[in-house]
Structure 1
């Protein structure tokens, strides 16, 4: 399927001129619309810069060519803009949500998140989407008139709901939050500015979410091959990849393995993008949304894979899970990384005076839950490298994570 370079703007695209605005009103920019300003604020934030030194799968010193949270984020941005352009959606809003989607991840990727979630078990746990919301609404402190980035309602909504509604219409937690409830930082913010947790997010937010899935599959295959955790021959067991490899061998016979691997990744991204565009157009024809609000109030996502591509996506994840994410080498390093995060949390819980002055300010006399959240916010903002430096400063021995 060929996709045109651009598509006429559709009726259900988000419109920056009709944004619900910012919590704190600001004068308009003479050169940028509100969604573009959100992108720029995210790019210039401290949290965004720190993504350069946060783990995706492999920690920073395992090799310069493995993805970090930042390079992963940039790949998600590229895919999101491609899909949004093809569908006639607002590219800036999709870009902003792709830029911000991983801001809440702590050091050492999912290992760090697991460790912080366990440390905060008695006060609601840790959720990286909730942490991202907290970063852009309060923890970033760059502007004279407000904490956070004062992003538009549409960007905040998409940051929280890009994977779907968090509650039913009556407020009952739904989906992944059904068991443990909606994270308190999200509920706290919604008491100030209602993000309508019961509805879907905009089509642009849905594009950012599915772009994350596409990027994950493609670059984890690339990084796994580079790390020699599996081979192209192993990957041929996955039907969608087998088809792609067969096409490469037919079109470019005799290609060396390195170029062959890159071509697999490139074609996989292309196939996935084309599938999302086709499926979304088909769903739009059925749902017939006439506005962004129609997308929010639909009974299912507008942006999605086809059934066949969903099976392909599941097969790729099923292949990668045991061979990469649960590989003995990766698991050993991530186990050590979890221990680093747990050690830091335990130390600062015992000795909050060891926190930097601006982080310990006002903690005297506060309840233990507030103290735990403050400590978690501090640790979550660390890069891999800084977490190891802090651990080495506070403890006699620190794992090398190799």
Structure 2
């Protein structure tokens, strides 16, 4: 076909420019129609890890119903929020979306409960961390291409994936990967696109956990009103639409909260960029802390909201009961596979593996499972599989 180059985008000087990408670990010809970051985003969307997010827990396990968020719907909401912020700030939207869509790749079945179990079981062999696992997935565990493992993403996307919550400390587990990522710059701040994906994650789960919590009956409007920002929004909704039905009231609360948080981040980020005199992507990476952030007032509101969600939703007795059962499922699966590796699929068995590598393969296999597949495998191999439905109020 005729060589049609992607149209140049008007990016801010402090954005991460695809034309200045350092490339990929394995060199590839450039695309005639897509930038390097567009290709990264597309590879992420077409990956097996992305599809598996469909049936991985956010807060409520997938057996609880079709209307609660999963890791996939959460990731799509994060990408929408992040893209909105990136567009206003003139950042690279494709890189921002790539990082938002892949940030949860490393999560296990049953959310953080599964992660905690795998970390405990692997503590003598490097432990388990979902951010490190996301890196392992995109660099080695995906098996789609003829000439390499992983997705062969650009260095900018790999660094953004690792550093989206800030540069890792020297003792962090990312340095324990085999081989360690010594071709990445892990000591300096992430680019603005990665920072945008990270704060969009916070915005998304604060908003949708309110929605899911109210829908489940485990949260009530009254307890949410203890947060002044939420109280102000609900008062505004009630004044404009007296007697509005609860479902519409919930949606109005979530919609307006999202708008306030997004606009706050944009305003605060613009102020920080100007105050620090940021003129390039290099200036961003040299900063002592993130530039994409909430204002002081919004940060206080967000912290107060998280306390409410933690106490009344994440630590609700019904949720904790289900998490304990889920932990048992993950641990018993690990034990069965570790004691008899022949139960693993053939492609996951290697006769020459020592104990550490054998257990890491077992860990990788379980971490990649969806909630649904983990329950099917537990029922097949162990039996007496517990009911993981969250009790309704």
TM-score, with structure 1 as normaliser: 0.93
CA change 1:346–1:183 in 2 (3 A) is farther
Partner of 1:341: 330
- Of the candidates 79, 82, 99, which is equivalent to residue 80 of structure 1? 82
- Give, in angstroms, the shift of residue 365 of structure 1: 4.2
Secondary structure (helix, strand or coil) at the match of 2:259 reads helix
Partner of 2:18: 16
What whole-Å deviation, never above 9, does each CA across 1:248-306 have from its counterpart, x for those lacking one?
12233332221111000001110000000000000000112221121111111111111
User: Is the contact between residue 127 and residue 183 of structure 1 (CA under 8 Å) also seen in structure 2?
Assistant: no
Partner of 2:176: 184
User: Is the contact between residue 10 and residue 88 of structure 1 (CA under 8 Å) also seen in structure 2?
Assistant: yes
What whole-Å deviation, never above 9, does each CA across 1:328-362 have from its counterpart, x for those lacking one?
111111111011110111111111111110001x2
CA change 1:257–1:101 in 2 (3 A) is same
Q: Distance in 2 between matches of 1:153 and 1:335?
A: 39
- Give, in angstroms, the shift of residue 182 of structure 1: 4.4
Is residue 113 from structure 1 mapped to residue 115 from structure 2 by the alignment? yes
CA RMSD between the two structures: 1.3
- Of the candidates 366, 369, 373, which is equivalent to residue 356 of structure 2? 369
Q: Distance in 2 between matches of 1:327 and 1:142?
A: 41
- Give, in angstroms, the shift of residue 183 of structure 1: 5.1
Secondary structure (helix, strand or coil) at the match of 2:212 reads helix
Is residue 279 from structure 1 mapped to residue 279 from structure 2 by the alignment? no
- Of the candidates 29, 34, 37, which is equivalent to residue 36 of structure 2? 34
- Of the candidates 157, 160, 165, which is equivalent to residue 155 of structure 1? 157
TM-score, with structure 2 as normaliser: 0.95
Q: Distance in 1 between matches of 2:240 and 2:280?
A: 43
CA change 1:39–1:182 in 2 (3 A) is closer
User: Is the contact between residue 333 and residue 382 of structure 2 (CA under 8 Å) also seen in structure 1?
Assistant: no
The 5 Å alignment of 1:299-310 reads: 299-310=288-299
Partner of 2:376: 389
User: Is the contact between residue 130 and residue 183 of structure 1 (CA under 8 Å) also seen in structure 2?
Assistant: no
Is residue 354 from structure 1 mapped to residue 343 from structure 2 by the alignment? yes
Residue ranges of structure 2 left out of the alignment (5+ in a row)? 1-8
User: Is the contact between residue 340 and residue 398 of structure 1 (CA under 8 Å) also seen in structure 2?
Assistant: yes
4+ residue segments displaced more than 6 Å: none
Residue ranges of structure 1 left out of the alignment (5+ in a row)? 1-6
Secondary structure (helix, strand or coil) at the match of 2:179 reads helix
Q: Distance in 1 between matches of 2:219 and 2:49?
A: 33
User: Is the contact between residue 94 and residue 204 of structure 1 (CA under 8 Å) also seen in structure 2?
Assistant: yes
What whole-Å deviation, never above 9, does each CA across 1:197-252 have from its counterpart, x for those lacking one?
11111100000000000001000000000000021122111111011111112233
Q: Distance in 2 between matches of 1:298 and 1:377?
A: 35
Partner of 2:63: 61
Partner of 2:388: 401
- Of the candidates 254, 261, 270, which is equivalent to residue 265 of structure 1? 254
User: Is the contact between residue 111 and residue 337 of structure 1 (CA under 8 Å) also seen in structure 2?
Assistant: yes
Q: Aligned residues, how many?
A: 381
Is residue 233 from structure 1 mapped to residue 222 from structure 2 by the alignment? yes
- Give, in angstroms, the shift of residue 8 of structure 1: 5.7
